[in-house]
Structure 1
Amino acid sequence: MSGICDGRVVVVTGAGRGLGRAHALAFAAEGARLVVNDLGVGLDGTPGADGMPGPGSPATRVAEEIRAAGGEAVPHGGDIATTEGAASLVRTALETYGRLDTLVNNAGFLRDRMLVNLDEDDFDAVVRVHLKGHFLPLRHAAAHWRSEAKAGRPPEARIVNTSSGAGLLGSVGQGNYSAAKAGIVALTLVAAAELRRYGVQVNAIAPAARTRMTERTFAETMAAPDSGFDAMAPENVSPLVVWLGSAASAGVTGRVFEAEGGRITVMEGWRPGPSADKGERWVPAEAGEAARKLLAEADEPGPVYGA
């Protein structure tokens, strides 16, 4: 296999199903060598019927699928939201292939509740797998790339993080997930600024696709349209991810892209809007009056999903 990722070593977390599997297969089709990570848990993060490690694990099946097509891949079943799991993920790439070029953070699960019904464990579990599960692999990969740069071997390294429209706009019934995905955007911006000097580019995507996590959301679009183009197929998102993870994306960092069907959108975050400066401290009534005038001049925010 050869393509825009020929010779690159790519790690994809949560790659046993859905978007992660699609990304792994797409990278392999472009010549990358893969570390396929998946813990093999159920939709809510609890051990599932096929979640046990071994020959039948989701990560193993995807690695075998890549090898059957002529590519190179190894499975990794560690918990990347732990220090040891994240460290072993990077170590697997280095010990197997001798290098690491791209990290795609994708792992996650859902425990949806309205806020008044959302308990602490469900909040912590979702933030842990999404936000901490992005931070720890990023940290360990970045430490390796920094060492390479300081040793005079500057990498062309790439990190692609996975946020969500829920992280950009909010989503009713998903306070934990929305908070984690918003945190991933901020983490992306900080990492892009800090790691640029070491030859590392960091970007994020906000994908919309049909997976285990979204099958209820996209229930009305489950069937492929008459045109033959399935707009909700996870494979539609992967070409952008592969490009961002390749050397061809040189100069692109600190960006967030929305990807859905055949559409790619550069998302523009918080920017200063209308402003008023009194030159001294406001009193509450004045501050309120000024705020209302500014709001009348400002653009309306996008609607929260499900509102």
Structure 2
Amino acid sequence: MTEAVEDYRSELLVHCYRMLGSVDDAEDVVQETMLRAWRADYDPERASRRTWLYRIATNACLTALRGRARRPLPSGLGAPSDDPSAPLNPALDLPWLRPFPDALLPEEVVVRRGSLRLAFVAAMQVLPPKQRAVLILREVLEFPAAEVADLLDTSVPAVNSALQRARTALSALGEGMVEEPSDATVRATVDRYVRAFEVADVDGLVRLLTADAVMEMPPVPLWYRGRADYAAFMRRVYAMNGEAWRVVRLAANTQPAFAAYVRSDEAFTLHTLQVLTVSTDGAITRNVVFRDPVVFADFALPPVLDLNQR
């Protein structure tokens, strides 16, 4: 029984992350799910083992969310800033949305394209917890309405109503399941962005952006929209930190990402983790820049690279 339950741990971690917006929180709930499953009696005549485990995990997430503030990105807190020179004061009291390391996705776990996208997960955090659960179970995991009703101890009409309200809310936020770019498009765009970033070529970066590209920097609550402010902020970054950088490629939330290291006297020092969103036509629509030691730990990023390390 223990081995059969453990087979589902990885996909349950992804599910709980979508619900909770934090890898640490998701791991805690998955561990609780494993314990509850081990102690409970599984009835194969009522549901498949997978459905049974999702029932336990989803309800554990709903319990964990009671009385807990949502995890936002800065763009979910208000209007963009029009001052690229504004003080970068972190808001450490906010429970920020954290990225999901793709290294935690074993090959056997198939994730629907776009369903882990950072902006999509952030938008889901705005939904009431039960609507969030219904949306994930119905739209992402494609459970039938009757199974979702059973999972959540409710009725099929209630599930359908919650799903409609969740869709409407996501549409109002400008988020939802969207067409994803091809892998080749993503690689080509990110290659160009990284080359420009490492040599502080702001004009090169800007040429890759959409007109309304977003940059946000949790735990700093500021965010910017548009090429002009993006460029002005990047010039500020290079003026403050220098123009010698090294990048380590990563993936987060099934999106391209990289750790940015800035040159110091004897090494390259970890500066930020950046998660890019690329459109189907190869332009960058969003860059979420994390400068948070907890996020660095989630991705097991070394604090320094020696000058010869790649």
Q: TM-score, normalised by structure 1?
A: 0.29
Q: TM-score, normalised by structure 2?
A: 0.29
